[in-house]
Amino acid sequence: MATQKTDVVIVGVGAVGGILAAELGKAGMKVIGLERGPRLTTQDFSALDELRYFQRQELRPSSKRQPVTWRPDAKTNAKPLPILNYGNQAGGGTVHYGALSWRFHEDDFRARSHTIERYGASAIPADSSLTDWPLTYADLEPFYDQAEYELGVSGRAGNLQGRKTDAGNPFEAPRRREYPLPALLPDQSGVIFAAAGQKLGYHPFSSPRAILSQPYQGRAGCTYCGFCQSFGCHMAAKSSILVTKLPEADATGNFKLLTGTMCYRVNSDNSGRVTGVSYYAADGSDNTIEADLVILATFIYDNTRLLLLSKTAKFPNGLANSSGQLGKHLMAHIGARVFVAFDDRYVNIYMGPSAQKHSLDDFNADNFDHSGMKFVRGAQLSVTPADLEAGPIGASISMNPPPGIPRWGAAYRDFLAKYFARYAAFIAQTENLPYADQTVDLDPHVRDQYGMPAPRLTYDWRRPNEVARIEFLLNKLEELGRASGATHVWRSPTGSGAPGAHHEGGTRMGSDPKLSVVNRYGQSWDIPNLFVIGSSTFPTMSGFNPTLTIQALAYSSADAIVNRYKKSPGALV
């Protein structure tokens, strides 16, 4: 057992931890980062291997060693989820992600107020905990800008300082300047999607991604190999934290990364402050770090689990949980999906960065009139390969054949043979509302490799508001499919109520200490030297992928810590 002292300990060195490590290190703070997984290098990603990275999920946690259980409701026994959709190495999920880099809309930050203003309070389901963020888009805009420029995001502005540009996304919130890099080239699926969208009067555009369309900051531009979502980038054109902020953190001389370590407790004293963390090292030893500042920056499961596991006499319901909100309001994106396939042409969707390639924003947020509809909020619509990743294993596992064609046998073989290079998926990534009874807690029966209780999710997205939205969106996707000129258009089943991608919630941020766990900087209301940063603090989720907003929040917190907290440690709000 060893004890180390430091200014700051960061638990989890991914999208958030890497940014904090670099920014705090630059300000002269001594930082130790605890990372459960390894630190890989770009050279490790030379294998463009679908089995290894997509199917066997090598860059994600093992569902056997790190189980996370799920049950649709409190009456049902929870079972381990077969696939865990987050990162498990230095750089976190940004190593394997599709690198979609969206700024949330202005009304995403005030979804409750906006909905009431436009449709009245009765439009919000009575059991939903839909709420406003404790900060506005304008508050976060400088940090979105910083993230885009420091990391390297490719895209085209749709709204420059309030002026629509006739390019990019016309629904985006005003940005101070253009993206640092031009938009990525569309592949054929993007061209098809764009033509269909334009035909119907919508506004398609090349999705903004943290993938270099040109050389930037010493890294080469993307070569459109397609091994993107699920994979580490073999040429570091993906602006993952691994190749952007971690080298920066190293260069400060103030950052020490401990890989293969599992934090199991945040330690605190009776004065109401945290004193550091305890962790298991790679050799199994039990160690302690004493720190002035503790930052939890793991995926949402562990941000919540660690606080629940760190309960004390002072905090019997979990550390920093005087509000009783810890673990509540779990959200996740659900993907409604329609396939299109062409008899008269190839699409070759395996070319170009995978994940959401081209998008349209006409049905996201409150960008369309919900009057008379049975739901509020919307979804981002995009074209992608079957399971975001574009190889034939993904297609054969994730693409249901059209009605009338079985899932195996000669007819299925012929379906795959004919359409693998001739299909595309149109998907809607839905903004599901928060509900207080969708939770993360500790599984009383299942334990992980360290003997810690597994995070248990209680969640079912199939609420009336969400089911009505999915049906509306599936019809829109089919309409787009028909407009694309596809020979065949068919739906994918919407599946069980299990959470999809991009989990949010559990350590909700807010402006009222009684109704939230942390303030707008991720600082615990109860314990000022404890920060929790990441999508676990999102009060609502937006239809957009969360990573750029997570990163902007990390920059915002870093700014507040360096420029305010460091001089006068105490509550920032």
Minimum CB distance to other proteins, residue 345 (Å): 5
488 classed as catalytic: no
CA 510 – CA 210 distance, rounded (Å): 28
Minimum CB distance to other proteins, residue 456 (Å): 22
79 binds other proteins (CB under 8 A): no
83 binds other proteins (CB under 8 A): no
46 binds other proteins (CB under 8 A): yes
Can you tell me which of 167, 393, 468, 501 binds other proteins, judged by CB under 8 A? Answer: 393
Contact segment (CB under 8 A) with other proteins among 4-12, 22-30, 345-353, 494-502 equals 345-353
Q: Which two tokens stand for residue 269?
A: 């004293």
CA 56 – CA 230 distance, rounded (Å): 10
496 binds other proteins (CB under 8 A): no
Residue in 203, 488, 502, 503 annotated catalytic: 502
50 binds other proteins (CB under 8 A): yes
CA 178 – CA 162 distance, rounded (Å): 12
Minimum CB distance to other proteins, residue 336 (Å): 23
In this structure, is the dihedral angle defined by the CA atoms of residues 68, 72, 76 and 79, taken in order, positive or negative? negative
177 binds other proteins (CB under 8 A): no
Applying the rule CB under 8 A, the residues between 350 and 369 that interact with other proteins are: 350-352
Strand-pair partners of 489? 340
Can you tell me which of 37, 92, 134, 226 binds other proteins, judged by CB under 8 A? Answer: 226
With CB under 8 A as the rule, give the number of residues binding other proteins: 43
- Crossing angle (nearest 10°) for helices 15-26 and 245-252: 30
Which long-range contacts does 364-370 make (Cβ < 8 Å, 24+ apart)?
364/105, 364/171, 364/431, 364/542, 364/543, 364/544, 365/105, 365/107, 365/108, 365/111, 365/171, 365/431, 365/542, 365/543, 366/107, 366/114, 366/115, 366/118, 367/105, 367/171, 370/118, 370/119, 370/123
Minimum CB distance to other proteins, residue 73 (Å): 23
Can you tell me which of 410, 451, 493, 568 binds other proteins, judged by CB under 8 A? Answer: 410
Minimum CB distance to other proteins, residue 381 (Å): 21
Contact in structure between 509 and 531 (CB atoms under 8 Å): no
Q: Which is nearer to other proteins, 126 or 410 (CB)?
A: 410
188 binds other proteins (CB under 8 A): yes
Contact segment (CB under 8 A) with other proteins among 15-23, 103-111, 159-167, 217-225 equals 217-225
Contact segment (CB under 8 A) with other proteins among 111-119, 298-306, 326-334, 411-419 equals 411-419
484 φ, ψ to 5°? -75, -10
Contact in structure between 434 and 540 (CB atoms under 8 Å): yes
For 89, 136, 244, 421, the CA distances from 94, given in Å and listed in that order, are: 10, 25, 11, 28
Q: Which is nearer to other proteins, 56 or 177 (CB)?
A: 56
Contact in structure between 297 and 36 (CB atoms under 8 Å): no
CA 61 – CA 54 distance, rounded (Å): 13
Q: Which residues of the chain form contacts with other proteins (CB under 8 A)? A: 46-51, 55-56, 64, 185-188, 191, 223-227, 234, 345-346, 348, 350-352, 391-393, 395-397, 407-410, 412-414, 416-417, 420-421
Catalytic residue annotation:
502
